Amino acid sequence: MKTKLLVALGAVFAISGCAVKPVVLTTDELKAAVRIDVDRLSQQRDAVSAPISLDEAIARAVRNNRDRKLKVLESALAQKQLDLTRFDALPGLAVSAGYSARNNYAASASVRFADGVPEALPADPSYSVSQDKQRSTYDVAFTWNVLDFGLSYVRANQQADRFLIGKERERKVVHNITQEVRAAYWRAVSAERLLQKIGPLVERAEAALKDSRSVEAQQLRPPLEALQYQRELLEILRSLQALRQDLMSARTELAGMMGLRPGTSFELSEVQMPVFRVPEFRLDMGRMEEVALLQRPELLENRYQQRISAAETRTALLRLLPNLNLTAGVYRDSSDYLLNQDWAGAGAQVSWNLFNVFRLGAEQDMAQAREAWVEEQRLATSMAVLTQVHIARLRYEQSVKSFELAGLYNEVALRIQEQTRNGTRLQRVSELSLIRESLNALLAELRRDVAYADLQNSFGRMFMTIGLDLVPQNYTDGTLGDLSKDVGQRFGRWERGDIGLAPDSQGPGAQAVPEVVIEASALEAVK
């Protein structure tokens, strides 16, 4: 009867486990989750109270960018994983307790064993009992696997290197953010200034188009001449509309990079009084190559990966060694049939898979191949970095020339526009010619602004290419104003050729870091 009951209960639990069905999120649940997400995205740590400069835009982006916060959380996760890995090297201390009961005694009988055969059980055997029907057991056991201790130590060092790799990836994200914000900022500045000039020009072209249609209706000009005039005006309006569409998204992109919700009102300090100053770069190519090989996050990541690969080789060799298990503990059994209900025990056990001897050569070959692959990967990355340094320098030099040429072109376009405007006042030049030259002047100004934005991007890209950090490591500690000031000061020092590294200095990854702890302020910044 009891057996049938147990079988029935087991069947019920099995059927219940198979009855799980997927549950679709309801509309109300999704709406509640969306409201929470929108509220969190709408929260701004630093309200906009004044026109935003380039330094402040970079500081806002570094503090509020979601990609950067994600990398901080990944570094925090790696730090916590490192803390967990350290516990793997500790011995095991297990505490256990148990209770057992049965409905009758575990009585047993014994017979003599002679000549390799047990004697027959007598008709009336004598049974004996050595265990209570109900008993409790307790024990505290200490276990230590020496081989696991060595492996755990190596894995902890590997995890520490993975944490440092995460920090280098966070540096790379910050580098990319600063470069993208610099490009978006100057695009937004150009858009702000040019959009103010596009509106009046569109109104003038639409008024001229309306007048031309009236002239065509009154047949004051030949129909073909009026239609050609209207076609040129429509071409101008189409160009202006396309230009406006391209420029209108620049402000929204910059707001998103700075962590501002789309639609937030803000002004840019460079819009009203732009200063088109050509920044100077004072580092020679040899110094750029040296700094890049020391500072680039990708190369530092490869060097940490090389240490991880070397540790993996040691791990593979450790697995081939004999295994030694040490145990010690205290035990208790409540059975009344035991003379000693409390006792202590200790033991040692050595085990070794003898076939591991045949794996030694293969493991060594695998280790050599792995280290050769990592070494070649590091050299390939170094070559790519040096190539990027040279390309960045060439682009900067070309961008300077392009900006100077665009400036001269803009001056000529403005002079032509002024001459055309004077001719229009004297009725020597048509309104269409003035509108056309106004559009050409606007496009020339746009090309000048785009060339200057490309110059600024090329200038900033060189510092990113050699791996310099625009923001300090503790950039989450201070205020937005302090960080903006620090960004501006660093740019000023870099322009003077002072990058803060002596020629024989070592990069951030050249010296060993025994322990790295993420500060609480860094974690607070992502909440």
Q: Where are the domains of the chain?
A: 60-100+145-507
pLDDT < 70 positions in the chain: 1-20, 37-46, 65-90, 215, 218-221, 273-274, 475-476, 500-527
CB-based contacts of 206, cutoff 8 Å, min separation 6: 237
CATH 1.20.1600.10 fits 60-100+145-507, yes or no: yes
Q: Which amino acid is at 506?
A: Q
- The two structure tokens encoding residue 189: 């500045």
**Closest-CA residue to 188 (of 285, 38, 57):** 57
Please say whether the dihedral angle defined by the alpha carbons of residues 290, 176, 396 and 185, taken in this order, is positive or negative. Answer: negative
Residues 6+ apart with CB under 8 A from 455: 278, 279, 396, 399, 400, 402, 403
Rounded distance, CA 203 to CA 445, Å?
Answer: 19
Predicted pLDDT at 514: 33
The rounded distance, in Å, linking the Cα atoms of 440 and 429 is 16
**Whole-number Å distance between alpha carbons of 366 and 371:** 9
pLDDT at 37: 66
- pLDDT in the model for residue 85: 63
213's CB contacts (< 8 A; 6+ apart) are: 226, 230
Maximum distance among all alpha carbons in the chain? Answer: 141
Q: Is the pTM of this model over 0.85?
A: no
Q: Please, are residues 204 and 438 in contact by the beta-carbon 8 Å criterion? A: yes
Cα gap 39→60, rounded to integer Å: 19
For residue 407, count CB atoms less than 10 angstroms from its CB and return exposed for 0-12, middle for 13-18, buried for 19 or more. Answer: middle
